[in-house]
Amino acid sequence: MDSTTYGLDIAKNVMQLHWVDAETGEIGRKKLARAKLAEYFAKLRPARVVMEACGSAHHWARVLGKLGHEVELLPAAQVRPFVRSNKDDAADARAIWLAAQHRDIRRVPQKSTEQQAVLALHRTRSHWISVRTATMNALRGLLYEFGVVLRGGRKAGLKALSEQRAQIDEQLPQVMRALVDGQLQTLSQVQQRIDQLEHEIAAVQKQLSKARELRQVPGIGVLGSTALAATLGDGRAWRSGREFSASLGLVPAHSGTGGKVHTGHISKRGDSYLRTLLIHGARSVIEHAKDKPKWLQQMLARRPPNVVVVALANKMARTAWALVAHGRAYQRDWQSAKPGCSTAQAAAA
């Protein structure tokens, strides 16, 4: 295998390469059209290719991987500090190459087409929910200009609008009445689209064995199980459940100097959508579960509710990683222990 590392800056039409020849130390730069990229790498000996984990990066990782190259994806935020002076494609490719020399920068796991397809369903659903919220807020603001105040919340607001429609129409001119009808029709159509996407996600959950196993964990529902299964893959990209929960920003951020370290709020790094699903699931367990674990009851007695919610979400993320990485089924009374201990051996038996 060629020991040369290629830094590849990808874009819609023009790709930029940067490399340093492993034998001569000569610096190489090359600009390639999108259509010529696969052809160029097909002629090279298998090498190490590093890219930012940005749009279409997983696609190109699969393409170059099939050609025999070792592909690595770097977080874009970790590459940006290596851009020197003016920013352009050549500088970006050079920054990628420089960042690739630092092994302490965590690599982004590559996703298959199936994983990306499931996550696309979630992103599309999230998009239409934001459209629904924006449409409802716009309607609420427009009615407020005519002295109509709707109750807070989407469902409560729509219910009040339906019940008081005759009275409200008396305060509105004809043009405004037609506009309200159009907005309500749009909201209905958007809701139908959201319902359809949730039906498709539920169908995917029944097909994925990993999602079905994750669904057994209290607090992980249909949305959480499918999103976790698609994100985790085989789980090998993380060495432990702690690493996975940290990658989702469910651990305390810390700062320190002079030997004094201060830990504060959670870091909120990584996938905000997945973190939100886990936190909402944890909150649901705390509020509605009748048989809470003893450790959770003890923690609720001594810590603020939101702290406990995040702690439970962290535990759910670590449990999800363990189930996927080790291929196990969920056991409510499972107790982890160090390898070789009698407790661990008994639990494994």
Query: Is residue 298 a part of any domain in this protein?
Result: yes
Q: How many helices (H) and strands (E) does the chain have?
A: 15, 7
Identify whether residues 181 and 221 lie together within a single domain: no
For the chain, the domain total comes to 3
Identify whether residues 196 and 232 lie together within a single domain: no
Out of 47, 69, 100, a domain closes at 100
Q: Which domain holds residue 272?
A: 215-348
Query: Is residue 108 a part of any domain in this protein?
Result: no
Out of 157, 174, 207, a domain closes at 207
Tokens of 141: 């603001």
Tokens of 150: 């709707």
Out of 167, 189, 207, a domain closes at 207
**pLDDT values of the chain reduced to their tens digit, one per residue, 349 residues:** 678 999 999 999 999 999 998 888 899 999 999 999 999 999 999 999 999 999 999 999 999 999 999 999 999 999 999 998 888 999 999 999 999 999 999 999 999 999 999 999 999 999 999 999 999 999 999 999 999 999 989 999 999 999 999 999 999 999 999 999 999 999 999 999 999 999 999 999 999 999 999 999 999 999 999 999 999 999 999 999 999 999 999 998 888 888 888 888 899 888 999 999 999 999 999 999 888 889 999 999 999 999 999 999 999 999 999 999 999 899 887 777 666 665 444 444 4
Q: Where are the beta strands (DSSP E) in 25-67?
A: 27-33, 48-52
Q: What are phi and psi of 20, to 5 degrees?
A: -125, 120
Residues sharing a CB contact under 8 Å with residue 122, sequence separation 6 or more, in sequence order = 201, 223, 226, 227, 230, 273
Q: Are 200 and 288 in contact (CB under 8 A)?
A: no
